[in-house]
Structures are given as structure tokens and as C-alpha cells.
A and B are shown apart, each in its own frame.
Chain A
Amino acid sequence: MELGIFSFADVQRDPNSGTLGSTAEAMRNLREAIALADAVGLDYFGVGEHHTYEMPASAGAVILASAASITKRIKLGSAVTVLSTDDPVRVYQQFATLDALSNGRAEITAGRGSSTESFPLFGYGLNDYDELYSEKLDLLLKINESNPVTWRGKHRPPLDNSWVVPRPERGHLPIWLGTGGNPHSSMRAGYLGLPISYGIIAGQAKRFAPLAELYRRAARKAGVPEANIKVSVASPGFISDDAKAAKDLWSRHWIALMTSVGEVRGFPPPSRARFDQDANGDGALFVGDPEEIAERIVALHKRLGHMRQFFQIDVGHLPQKEFLHAIELLGTKVKPFVDAELRVADSYQEAVDVR
């Protein structure tokens, strides 16, 4: 199973003065994190498009391209690209360029995104969101399918036998559909034959099991080849050497993040009790020591059958050194645990099948 990280490039906070660090430093910190993730054997790093001072990863493809030159194997993707407020042609050109520079390691995840700052920023309205999203996804997939492209829509001038270059090394870019759990999105991904990425950020992670089943059944109904039916999971998380220390430290940063998000969106600041509910057992927050996190990934895998899980660790101004240590533990400790557990499960299944 693939493991990885995703980030919105959280800025640092000075522990003494309490002032926020620079957004420029956040870009360099993120590149450093991607390099380490590659070095410790992680499979995937996603940069989520985000447009706030506290999380300024607005130009993910540029960060990833910079990281591409100092990494070897790790896959580099968006998590997610806010497709509704971007031009699919430009998105494709940027990630196809990243794909060339990284020798075929680029991916796109198209989604709604975690916040709506990009709408006023790029002059889009939220009112026609669904229509905008469908149309842009359609164009993005068309560009990926073949070249030159001829296409017509309502929200953008038509393309007439236009070349969108460069072309990806292996012909196509992996394009995932990112969703927060609306059943219609699972249906859409299934019918379109796209791999699906679930953002599971609160509550019980296992409640996504029926959605994954809906996605798979819709895909099979549409005749999608088994190899193209893939599920990944993105969730908040943090790993430290000691489980209690991990929860004590990271809960403060998570609560800080959710408090500021809640002020904008009108929900209450979460309590520590609420955090503990989600950070244990089947909860959506994967916070603990390497063994606990490995066990929880495997437990969720049994319900969702996902092939990749990746974690947002740097939130609420988590110190960079803690972020890096968590990445190291995910690669050097959690990944071997998960691989071993799943091998045991597989060989047991094989033994059962043989009999």
C-alpha cells in the first residue's frame, strides 16, 4: 500500500514572540519536506491549492517542480487542484511539464478544495459551481485523452483542433477525482472511470466504506477495467515516538487550525474531548505512535480497500522539525509495519484460496 503526505504549506509561528513566519519560508520548508519524504521511501506527496496567508500553497505545480529536481521516486501531485477557478488547459500544461521534469511522476487530483478564497481571487462566482466543475472536468479529461483537442462549453472559449503541450511521458496523466463524501461524486468518479480520492477529515473514517462500495459498483456497471478502479484516502494525522505525546502536541495545533476555520465558517472551536474522539479508534485523525497508526491504516484498509493513504501533518503552525520527524517515522516505521501486516493478510487469504 502506498503512503504519503499532503500539505497546504502551513507557515511557522515564532514560539517566543508568537508572530507568524514568512510565506516564502513556508515554500522552502515544504520543498525540504518533499525531499525528506522521498528519501525515507514514501510513495506520494500532494500539495493542495490554498490561498490564505497561513497556508499559502497557491502555486502547487511550481513547488512540486522544484521538488522534482531533488527527488527520485516519489509521486508528485495536487491535493487538490481547485479546478472550478482555473483553466483546465493551463492546469494540464503545468502538470504535464511537471511530469516531464520528474520523469513521469506527476498526478492531478481535481476537486472542490477546502476553502473558497480562489473564487473571488480569480473572478468566479460560487452560484454556478456544479456546472462550472462538470464542464471543466470534462475539458481536462478530454485534453488528457487525445491531442489535438476540439471542445465546446459555456464557460470558456471553444478549442478547435488545438495542441495542449507538452504531452505526458506515458501518454496520459493520472487524474483523480477528490471528494469529501457526497454520494453523487462517488457515482460520477465511477461512471467516468476515474480513481477517487476521499478527504476524510472528521468523524468516523469507516463511514466512507459504503461510498467506496458505491464508487466501485458504479465503475463496474460502466465497464471500467478493474486496474483503473482505485481508492485513496487523505486525512489529517501526526506521528511521534510516543502516542500520548503525539496527541498532546498535535491536538493543540489541530484545535488552533479548526478554531480559525470555525471563525470564518461559523462552527464552534473543537474541544480536546472532541479531538480525542476523532484521534482514536476509527476516527478520522491519524495521530499516535508508528505502531498505532499502522494498525489504524490496516484496519481502515480492511473496510475501504484503498491503495494509498496520505496525511496532512503541518497544520496550525506545527514546528517544521516535528513535521520532518513525523515524515521520517511514516517512511521508516509505519510503512514497514503496514507492508508486513498486509503481507500476512494476503498470504492468509492465499492459503484460504488454495484450500
Chain B
Amino acid sequence: MSGNPIRTVGILGAGRVGTALARQALKAGYEVLVATTRPPAEIELLVEVMAPGAKAVTADLAARASDLVILAVPLATYRKLDPESLSGKIAIDVMNYWAPTDGTLAEFEGEVSSSEVVQQYLRYTRLVRTLNHIGYHEVEKMLCRQVIPSGALWRLRETTRRHGRPWLSSWIDSATMRSMPACSRPPVHSPLERRSSKGIGSATR
């Protein structure tokens, strides 16, 4: 797939995040396939209403027929993903480990990040961790907001503060957090396009 443009985005998971990303991808002009663990007929209505224009398909087809796959299932169920159909694919991992709401899962309690655990399972998939730091209700603001969400900046600030760089954290605070501009006009590119043109699309194997 090296050098090929990304035309079809497959989204595994039709919850809040999955459907929000499906709508954004459609707005940006991609063909979008949505799948869950249920048969497509059971989520047809959901997809038709929540992401008009996207197609409800099987998880197998969403993985195989897409140039880019987004993994948006509850992290606790990641082993229901099929390594075989995802092999050779670029997949965006938007999943998070959040013990206080999802329960404690031993395999995510170690030193390695949750994406590394998922990557070990999906051995032949090229995993990209992103979009996991944005609330689902903020995903659709991204068309009129800057690429870096305030949550990420906050974490960066907190990290620098903890590591004894108070001047840096206060600079981040004053320079960015308070002045996060809301765009007054819609930008030309969606975040996915932006990412695909710079990073993902140019990735080669």
C-alpha cells in the first residue's frame, strides 16, 4: 500500500467515539465502513442515523477493505479483534485503559502502554496511537479547533511541572492554554487528511 492514497476508512466499534470519527471521516470525503461484533443488519439503523453515508459491514470486511482502520472498541474487548484480517494494515488505536470506570485488567497494569499490549496481539498490524486523548464530544469540534487539544496540553504542562520545570509549565500555560483560539472559519483540511498527507499516508513498509 506504500504511496497509495487513503480512500477507505474502516471503523471497528460504533460507540460514541467510533460514530464521531465516522462522521468526521465522511465530512472529509472518505468512504467509511463501520463494524462491531454483531452482524451488520443489527447495526444498520444505528449507522444510517449516526453516520449517514457510512456502510455497516462485518468486522472482517471493515478490516480487509479499508486503507486505514480505526480501533474504537472498549479496550477490555480488544482480543475480539482479528489479527489475521488486520495484518498488513495501518490501524489507529484510539482506545484507553481507564481502570476506575472499566475495571482493573492485569495485562494493562504493567510498565508498557496499552497500545504496546495491543500491538503485541496484532503482530502484523502497524499500530498508530492517536485521537485517544480527545473526548468524543470534542472530536467534532476539531474541524474548527487547533490540532492539539487542550487535554494534551494540560498533561504536558502537568508532566513538566512534576519533573521540576515550573518555568516551562507556566509558559505552556500562558502561551497556549488560555489563548486556544476557536477558528472563525472552517479550515480546508480535516485532521485525518492532515495526518494522512504528512504521516500515515507516507508510511511505507
Contacts and interface: CB of A to CB of B under 8 A. Distances in A.
Interface of A: 116, 125-129, 181-184, 187, 202-204, 207, 210-211, 213-214, 217-218, 221, 264-265, 267-268, 271, 273-274, 277
A43 B23 CA distance: 37
Given A184-B14, A207-B137, A125 B46 contact: no
B99 to A, nearest CB: 8
Interface string B103-116: 11100000000000
A182 B136 CA distance: 10
Given A126-B101, A129-B102, A183 B138 contact: no
Tell me the interface secondary structure of chain B in the complex: helix
Contacts of B15: 182-184
Nearest to A268: B154
Given A182-B15, A183-B16, A127 B46 contact: no
B16 A181 contact: yes
A125 B103 CA distance: 7
B120 to A, nearest CB: 21
Q: Which 8 A-B pairs have the closest CB atoms?
A: A126-B103, A268-B154, A127-B103, A203-B137, A214-B49, A183-B50, A183-B46, A182-B15
Contacts of A267: 135, 151, 154
B45 interface: yes
13 contacts: A116-B100, A116-B101, A125-B103, A126-B101, A127-B105, A183-B46, A187-B46, A204-B137, A214-B45, A217-B45, A265-B100, A273-B178, A277-B182
A126 B98 CA distance: 11
Contact of B138 (A182, A203, A265): A203
A181 B46 CA distance: 13
B154 to A, nearest CB: 3
Interface string B18-62: 010000000000000000000000000110011000000000000
Interface of B: 14-16, 19, 45-46, 49-50, 76, 99-105, 135, 137-138, 140-141, 150-151, 153-155, 177-178, 180, 182
B133 to A, nearest CB: 10
A271 B180 CA distance: 11
Nearest to A264: B100
A210 B50 contact: yes
A217 to B, nearest CB: 6
B49 A202 contact: no
A124 to B, nearest CB: 10
Given A129-B102, A267-B151, 8 more contacts: A126-B102, A127-B105, A181-B137, A182-B15, A203-B137, A207-B140, A267-B154, A271-B178
A204 B101 CA distance: 24
Contacts of A211: 50
Given A183-B15, A184-B15, A217 B49 contact: yes
Contacts of B150: 268, 274
Contacts of B46: 183-184, 187, 214
A129 B76 CA distance: 11
Contacts of B100: 116, 126, 264-265
B19 A183 contact: yes
A207 B105 CA distance: 32
Contacts of A268: 150-151, 153-155
Contacts of A265: 100-101
Nearest to A129: B103
Given A116-B100, A126-B101, A182 B49 contact: no
A218 B50 CA distance: 13
Contact of B104 (A127, A181, A221): A127
B173 to A, nearest CB: 11
B57 to A, nearest CB: 17
Contact of A221 (B45, B135, B153): B45
A129 B50 CA distance: 24
Contact of A202 (B14, B19, B137): B137
Contacts of B50: 183, 210-211, 214
A14 B180 CA distance: 35
B156 to A, nearest CB: 11
Contacts of A218: 45
A274 B154 CA distance: 14
